[in-house]
Amino acid sequence: MGLRSFFLLGFQFFLHLLRRIFFLYRPGGVARFLENYREDHLFPFEVSDRELLPLWQRCTACGLCEAVCPLKEGSPIEQGRLSYLVLASSLWRDTSIRRWAAKDAEILASCSDCDRCEQICPERIPLRALARLVGSPPPAVGGQSLSEG
Amino acid sequence: MRVVVIGSGVAGTMAALAARKTGAEVIAVAGRPGASAQWSGVVELFGPSNEPPPIENLLGRSRQPEAHRPPGIAPGDRFERLMDRRRFHPYARVGLGFEAVAGHFQEALELADLEIVASLSPACLANAHGLLRLADGCASSLRPGLLPLAGSTRDLTVWGFSHYPAFDPEVVANQLQHQGLAAEARWIDLPDAPLCQSVATAATVLEGMAADRLEEIGRSIAEGTGERVALVPPILGRTMRSHRSIRDGLTQKGERADLAELASVHNSLHGFRLIWELQAALEAAGVAVRQASVQAFSANDRRIASVTLDSGERLTGDAFVLATGRAMAGGFQRSEPFTETLFGLPLYLDGMPLDPLQRDSATLVSRSLVDDHPLFRVGVGVNQRLQPLDVDLGVAFDNLFSAGGLLAGTHFALDGSAFGVALVTGLLAGRTAVEAEVTPWV
Ligand SMILES: Cc1cc2nc3c(=O)[nH]c(=O)nc-3n(C[C@H](O)[C@H](O)[C@H](O)COP(=O)(O)OP(=O)(O)OC[C@H]3O[C@@H](n4cnc5c(N)ncnc54)[C@H](O)[C@@H]3O)c2cc1C
Ligand code: SF4
Ligand code: SF4
């Protein structure tokens, strides 16, 4: 049994070498990522974003950030939707719903940078960086943009 | 005599106020909000009844299709059961009996002058899912909604606000009917208000309303409610001040309709109001507050000499109170080393210290969500005087005291005593910290 496995493994390695030699592998990188994951609305992160990701995911949905934000005072209709809570607590459990937060990100563009939300967050989540990421245009690589589709 | 209190949730604030009352100079280091900011408005003091499991209530889904009002077990009996089940409960560590806990609770409420009331007879309260929770007390905005466990209760009208559709009065009224209460549902229509998805936003809409508009809404509520009790979602204002003015508007300063907010389920304005109240209490008592976090300490010969803040300031003191809450607030580490964060104190489980290298938080949870996870009763072990213990079961530092959620021995959600522990041990730690200097402990 064990011997057969080794044979198979050896055969795979042989195929791998052949492919390497004859350049049979398709080009990888962002283009291939886009091809594979576009449907899922996943998007490639910058290295710095990837470092922030685990911090954003710590949100316990306590709602304190929203309760202190002065942006909502005298709120017009759209401002009623402003929600760091949604951004931080649900978005980063499932990055595919990023576009749902687009409206929130728009409102957050008028953020006065008062820092109250980050000051009160028990989990020390860098919320303004999160808003900037969501508000920034999705990465367009090789002529493809992730925003449509 | 100078006492430095680290953390100013419910426990830290009580400790600071109690120490200050004796005339000591007190400095409170207030970090970010912790569990106290998430308090759902119900004071749990003497322990739970055994059914229905409160954790399921907290999660908002009772497994029993026909849930009933919690059985009317007398608070004293609940307390006995809790002490039987949790031999290392902080109340037991300090040696408090039922009467003592009740007495200290009253004392704490008076000392801090919080908008919290004790329930005079065994009672329960409905939360925003319509599930009933035992309540030994509650935020004053919930008071008219206290339902006695014995005898008949008043009929209820649950009101929803159209701008906050996440709260559905029909669902809540249905749930209450399941539990044997007479409840009906009504809506307040606010056609020009923006739709809100969070409690905080829903509250800002009410905060921005003119007084006569509130009056008008109050009139409809009073007419629709009649002799019943009006229950509304917990969205009446983000601060105590705005809450009062909204409430005054709706009830015409208490003239109209008995109006109560429900206990909150997740993200809670009751907790949000509470943390500002605590801060105000500290200021009123003349406690110096530093908005900072403690990063390091220095000690010589089992006595803490000073702590250093992230602002760089060094605070010396004669006694120190550690009230930094559970892992969420930063009191202990979630991962390696699995110890208390600031002083590296060992964490205790059921009377024994855990080896930080052998155990971490992941090994102390079980598969099922609603289990009695050992992780939730892990914490700092203390002696009778609330002094944290070292690995050898001896006192770690002679002038360090601890209180609140950080203490080992009780499950903050299942045991129905979390708020009580924070209030009572906070009060005692503040007091003992001062006494310890006067009469050294032998
Ligand atoms: C969602 C939720 C709902 C709850 N609902 C109820 C309820 O309905 N009824 C009930 O009885 N109990 C309830 N509880 C439990 C109760 O709220 C807590 O047990 C209690 O508030 C704990 O108070 P505490 O002061 O010990 O801790 P916390 O309120 O967590 O305070 C600890 C403080 O210490 C600070 N701190 C930590 N590290 C440092 C440092 N290095 N330097 C300076 N400061 C520091 C933190 O910033 C924090 O402010 C609930 C808890 C939660 C999480
Ligand atoms: S920094 Fe911006 S989003 Fe945060 S509280 Fe201030 S205005 Fe609101
Ligand atoms: S304050 Fe922080 S933890 Fe709380 S909801 Fe906002 S982002 Fe999440």
- pLDDT on residue A78: 45
Which of A75, A86, A124 lies closest to B204 in CB terms?
A: A75
Indicate whether residue B39 lines ligand 1 (CB < 6 A).
yes
Residue B370 pLDDT > 90, yes or no? Answer: no
Higher-pLDDT residue of B258 and B334 is B258
Among A108, A114, A125, which is best to mutate for testing ligand 2, by the most ligand atoms less than 8 A from CB?
A114
ipTM given for this complex: 0.82
User: So what's the pLDDT on residue A48?
Assistant: 77
In A69-148, which ranges are continuous DSSP H helix? 84-85, 102-108, 116-120, 127-135
By alpha-carbon position, which residue is closest to atom 35 of ligand 1? B7
Average confidence (pLDDT) over B418-432: 97
Q: Which is nearest to B132 in space by CA: B166, B183, B187?
A: B183
The mean predicted confidence, pLDDT, of chain B is 91
Average pLDDT over residues B169-176: 94
Burial of B296 (0-12, 13-18, 19+ CB in 10 A): exposed
The pLDDT of residue A146: 42
- pLDDT of A89 > 70? The answer is no
Q: How far apart are CA B248 and CA B341, in angstroms?
A: 44
CA distances from B391 to B89, B320, B342 (A): 19, 20, 16
Answer yes or no: is pLDDT of B407 > 60.
Answer: yes
pLDDT of A31 = 73
Q: Is B420 helix (H, G, I), strand (E, B) or coil?
A: helix
Which of helix, strand or coil describes residue A124? coil
Is residue B65 over pLDDT 50?
no
**pLDDT for residue B410 is more than 60:** yes
Q: Helix (H) and strand (E) counts for chain A?
A: 8, 2
Predicted pLDDT at A143:
41
Model pLDDT, residue B12: 98
- Rounded average pLDDT over B62-69: 51
Residue A147 has pLDDT above 50, yes or no: no
Q: Give the range among A63-72, A83-92, B206-215 with minimum mean pLDDT.
A: A83-92
Domain assignments of chain B as residue spans, ordered by start: 1-125+267-442, 155-257
The residue-averaged pLDDT of B381-407 equals 96
Q: List strand residue ranges (DSSP E) for B60-168, in order.
A: 116-126, 132-139, 147-148, 156-161
pLDDT of residue B83: 95
pLDDT digits (tens, 9 = 90+) for B280-290: 999 999 999 99
Q: β-strands A140-141, A144-145: how paired? A: antiparallel
Is B161 near chain A, with CB under 8 Å? Answer: no
Q: Is residue B288 within 8 Å of B27, Cβ to Cβ? A: yes
- Per-residue pLDDT band at A101 (split at 50, 70, 90): low
Contacts of B267 in chain A (CB under 8 A): 61-64, 66-67, 85
Q: Using H for helix, E for strand and C for coil, what is the string for B236-282?
A: CCCCHHHHHHHHHHHHCCCCCCEEEECECCCCCHHHHHHHHHHHHHH
Residue B387: pLDDT band with limits 50, 70, 90: very high
Whether the CB-CB separation of B238 and B269 falls below 8 Å is answered with yes
Q: Say yes or no to pLDDT of B122 above 80.
A: yes
> What is the arithmetic mean of pLDDT over B184-202?
90
Judged by CB atoms closer than 8 Å, whether chains meet at B37 and A62 is answered as: yes
Closest-CA residue to B205 (of A81, A91, A28, A112): A81
Average pLDDT over residues B189-208: 88
- Check residue A21 and give its pLDDT: 81
Binding-face residues of B in 189-248 toward A, CB within 8 A: 194-201, 203-205, 207-208, 238
Structure-model confidence comparison of residues A135 and A124, the more confident one? A124
Give the range among B50-64, B245-259, B364-378, B385-399 with minimum mean pLDDT: B50-64
Residue B34 confidence (pLDDT): 95
CB contact under 8 A, B194 and A120: no
Cβ-Cβ contacts under 8 Å for A95 (sequence gap 6 or more):
A41, A42, A43
pLDDT of residue A137: 59
Q: What is the mean pLDDT of residues B162-181?
A: 91
Q: How many contacts does A have with B, using Cβ atoms within 8 A? A: 75
Q: Spell out the domain ranges in chain A.
A: 1-39, 46-137
For position B360, what pLDDT does the model report? 79
Residue B297 has pLDDT above 90, yes or no: yes
pLDDT on residue A148: 37
Helix (H, G, I), strand (E, B) or coil at A79: helix
Residue type, B126: A
Question: Which one of the ligands is nearest to A87 CA?
Answer: 3
* Sign of the Cα pseudo-torsion (B286, B292, B294, B299, in order): negative
Q: Is the pLDDT of residue A74 over 50?
A: no
Q: In this structure, what token pair is assigned to residue A35?
A: 């091809």
Ligand 3 centre from B69 Cα, in Å?
A: 34
For testing contact with chain B, the best of A55, A58, A62 (most B CBs within 10 A): A62
The DSSP secondary-structure symbol of B47 reads -
Q: Would the pLDDT of B224 be above 60?
A: yes
pLDDT tens-digit profile of B144-155?
999 988 777 889
pLDDT for res B148: 86
Mind telling me how many Å the CA of A113 is from chain B's nearest CA? 19
Atom number of ligand 1 nearest to Cα B263: 8
What is the rounded CA–CA span in Å between residue B270 and residue B250?
18
- CB of A149 closer than 6 angstroms to any ligand 2 atom: no
Instruction: Please identify, in words, the CATH class of the domain defined by B1-125+267-442.
Output: alpha beta
Chain A: residue whose CA lies nearest to B291:
A119
> What is the structure's pLDDT at B150?
76
Over residues B20-45, the mean pLDDT reads: 96
